[in-house]
Protein backbone atom coordinates (compact mmCIF):
# COMPACT_ATOMS: atom_id res chain seq x y z
CA UNK A 1 0.00 0.00 0.00
CA UNK A 2 2.79 2.43 0.88
CA UNK A 3 4.54 1.72 -2.42
CA UNK A 4 1.32 2.38 -4.34
CA UNK A 5 0.95 5.73 -2.63
CA UNK A 6 4.57 6.61 -3.30
CA UNK A 7 4.22 5.66 -6.95
CA UNK A 8 1.02 7.69 -7.24
CA UNK A 9 2.72 10.66 -5.58
CA UNK A 10 5.66 10.36 -7.96
CA UNK A 11 3.42 10.18 -11.04
CA UNK A 12 0.95 12.88 -10.05
CA UNK A 13 2.99 16.01 -10.95
CA UNK A 14 3.39 14.79 -14.55
CA UNK A 15 -0.33 14.03 -14.77
CA UNK A 16 -1.17 17.48 -13.40
CA UNK A 17 1.24 19.06 -15.89
CA UNK A 18 -0.42 17.25 -18.80
CA UNK A 19 -3.88 18.24 -17.56
CA UNK A 20 -2.79 21.87 -17.22
CA UNK A 21 -1.31 21.74 -20.72
CA UNK A 22 -4.58 20.33 -22.11
CA UNK A 23 -6.58 23.05 -20.34
CA UNK A 24 -4.37 25.86 -21.63
CA UNK A 25 -4.46 24.41 -25.14
CA UNK A 26 -8.25 24.57 -25.15
CA UNK A 27 -8.25 28.08 -23.70
CA UNK A 28 -5.89 29.18 -26.47
CA UNK A 29 -8.17 27.57 -29.08
CA UNK A 30 -11.14 29.52 -27.70
CA UNK A 31 -9.12 32.73 -27.99
CA UNK A 32 -8.18 31.95 -31.60
CA UNK A 33 -11.78 31.09 -32.50
CA UNK A 34 -13.06 34.33 -30.99
CA UNK A 35 -10.51 36.26 -33.03
CA UNK A 36 -11.65 34.42 -36.17
CA UNK A 37 -15.27 35.26 -35.32
CA UNK A 38 -14.37 38.94 -34.90
CA UNK A 39 -12.74 38.92 -38.37
CA UNK A 40 -15.82 37.28 -39.90
CA UNK A 41 -18.10 39.84 -38.26
CA UNK A 42 -15.89 42.74 -39.38
CA UNK A 43 -15.96 41.45 -42.96
CA UNK A 44 -19.74 41.17 -42.83
CA UNK A 45 -20.05 44.77 -41.66
CA UNK A 46 -17.51 45.93 -44.25
CA UNK A 47 -19.34 44.13 -47.08
CA UNK A 48 -22.72 45.55 -46.10
CA UNK A 49 -24.26 42.25 -45.03
CA UNK A 50 -25.22 43.75 -41.66
CA UNK A 51 -27.22 46.98 -41.71
CA UNK A 52 -29.42 46.74 -38.64
CA UNK A 53 -30.23 49.82 -36.59
CA UNK A 54 -30.11 48.06 -33.22
CA UNK A 55 -27.86 45.48 -31.58
CA UNK A 56 -30.68 42.95 -31.65
CA UNK A 57 -31.25 43.33 -35.38
CA UNK A 58 -27.51 43.25 -36.14
CA UNK A 59 -27.11 40.10 -34.06
CA UNK A 60 -29.97 38.48 -35.96
CA UNK A 61 -28.35 39.45 -39.27
CA UNK A 62 -24.94 38.11 -38.17
CA UNK A 63 -26.23 34.78 -36.88
CA UNK A 64 -26.65 32.92 -40.20
CA UNK A 65 -23.07 33.80 -41.15
CA UNK A 66 -21.49 33.13 -37.76
CA UNK A 67 -23.53 30.28 -36.28
CA UNK A 68 -21.00 27.57 -37.17
CA UNK A 69 -18.13 29.53 -35.62
CA UNK A 70 -20.22 30.29 -32.51
CA UNK A 71 -21.08 26.61 -32.16
CA UNK A 72 -17.41 25.70 -32.50
CA UNK A 73 -16.52 28.23 -29.80
CA UNK A 74 -19.11 26.72 -27.47
CA UNK A 75 -17.80 23.22 -28.15
CA UNK A 76 -14.20 24.21 -27.41
CA UNK A 77 -15.28 26.16 -24.32
CA UNK A 78 -16.88 22.95 -23.06
CA UNK A 79 -13.65 21.06 -23.73
CA UNK A 80 -11.74 23.76 -21.81
CA UNK A 81 -14.16 23.44 -18.89
CA UNK A 82 -13.77 19.66 -18.87
CA UNK A 83 -9.99 19.95 -19.00
CA UNK A 84 -10.09 22.39 -16.07
CA UNK A 85 -12.26 19.99 -14.08
CA UNK A 86 -9.78 17.17 -14.75
CA UNK A 87 -6.82 19.34 -13.74
CA UNK A 88 -8.60 20.32 -10.51
CA UNK A 89 -9.52 16.68 -9.80
CA UNK A 90 -5.90 15.60 -10.19
CA UNK A 91 -4.70 18.46 -7.98
CA UNK A 92 -7.17 17.45 -5.27
CA UNK A 93 -6.14 13.82 -5.58
CA UNK A 94 -2.49 14.86 -5.23
CA UNK A 95 -3.26 16.84 -2.07
CA UNK A 96 -5.17 13.88 -0.64
CA UNK A 97 -2.30 11.52 -1.42
CA UNK A 98 0.14 13.86 0.32
CA UNK A 99 -2.05 13.87 3.42
CA UNK A 100 -2.32 10.08 3.40
CA UNK A 101 1.45 9.80 3.04
CA UNK A 102 1.94 12.14 6.00
CA UNK A 103 -0.35 9.97 8.12
CA UNK A 104 1.40 6.75 7.12
CA UNK A 105 4.96 7.97 7.60
CA UNK A 106 5.91 8.23 11.26
CA UNK A 107 7.29 11.61 12.28
CA UNK A 108 10.85 11.39 13.65
CA UNK A 109 11.78 13.60 16.56
From residue 7, alpha-carbon distances to 2, 11, 18, 38, 89 in Å are 9, 6, 17, 47, 18
The yes-or-no verdict on residue 107 having pLDDT over 80 is no
Asked whether residue 109 is assigned to any structural domain, the reply reads no
Asked whether residue 19 is assigned to any structural domain, the reply reads yes
pLDDT in tens, 63-81: 999 999 999 999 999 999 9
What percent of the chain shows pLDDT beyond 70? 95
Asked whether residue 90 is assigned to any structural domain, the reply reads yes
How many structural domains are present in the chain?
A: 1
**Nearest Cα to Cα of residue 100 among 16, 3, 14:** 3
CA distance 90 to 94: 6
Instruction: Supply the range of the domain harboring residue 60.
Output: 2-104
Confidence of residue 52 (pLDDT cuts 50, 70, 90): confident
Q: Which residues touch 101 (CB under 8 Å, ≥6 apart)? A: 5, 6, 9
Mean pLDDT of all residues belonging to the chain: 93
Amino acid sequence: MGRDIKRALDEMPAKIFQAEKAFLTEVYKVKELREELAVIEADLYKNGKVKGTSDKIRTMQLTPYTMDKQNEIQRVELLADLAKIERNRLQQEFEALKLIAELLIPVKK
